[in-house]
């Protein structure tokens, strides 16, 4: 799994039939030890209703095609969770606003 932050959207008016209803988001990979962006980006199909700025968990490769939203679709990365909080060794490194 990949920890990332949603940093943008992708709009494609012409796309494969299997992607017609898919929401595509740009995700920057995060360093889980610091929470800082790694300047590495991917486009992911959104299975959970994520929004700009949210920290998310992504699956990639063949695992990305195992969710109901991505099954049978030509995708390499899927956003499968919105992170509320994470910690390492008891130190909270991220907590979603309002949590």
For each of the domains in the chain, give its residue range(s) and CATH number, in order of start. Answer: 2-81 (2.40.50.220)
Q: Binning pLDDT at 50, 70 and 90, where does residue 70 land?
A: low
74 or 10: which leads in pLDDT: 10
Task: Report d(CA 52, CA 57) in Å as an integer.
Answer: 14
Residue 93's CB is within 10 A of a number of other CB atoms, namely 17
Average pLDDT over residues 25-41: 95
Task: Report d(CA 95, CA 8) in Å as an integer.
Answer: 21
Q: Please report the pLDDT score of residue 91 as a whole number.
A: 92
Whole-model pTM?
A: 0.88
Task: Report d(CA 30, CA 38) in Å as an integer.
Answer: 6
58 or 74: which leads in pLDDT: 58
């Amino acid at each position: 799994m990949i920890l990332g932050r949603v940093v943008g959207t992708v709009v494609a008016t012409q796309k494969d039939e299997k992607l017609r209803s898919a929401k595509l988001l740009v995700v920057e990979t995060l360093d889980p030890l610091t929470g800082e962006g790694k300047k590495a980006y991917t486009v992911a199909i959104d299975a959970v209703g994520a929004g700009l700025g949210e920290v998310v968990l992504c699956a990639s490769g063949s695992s990305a095609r195992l969710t109901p939203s991505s099954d049978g679709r030509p995708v390499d990365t899927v956003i499968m969770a919105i992170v509320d909080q994470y910690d390492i060794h008891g130190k909270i490194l991220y907590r979603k606003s309002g949590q």
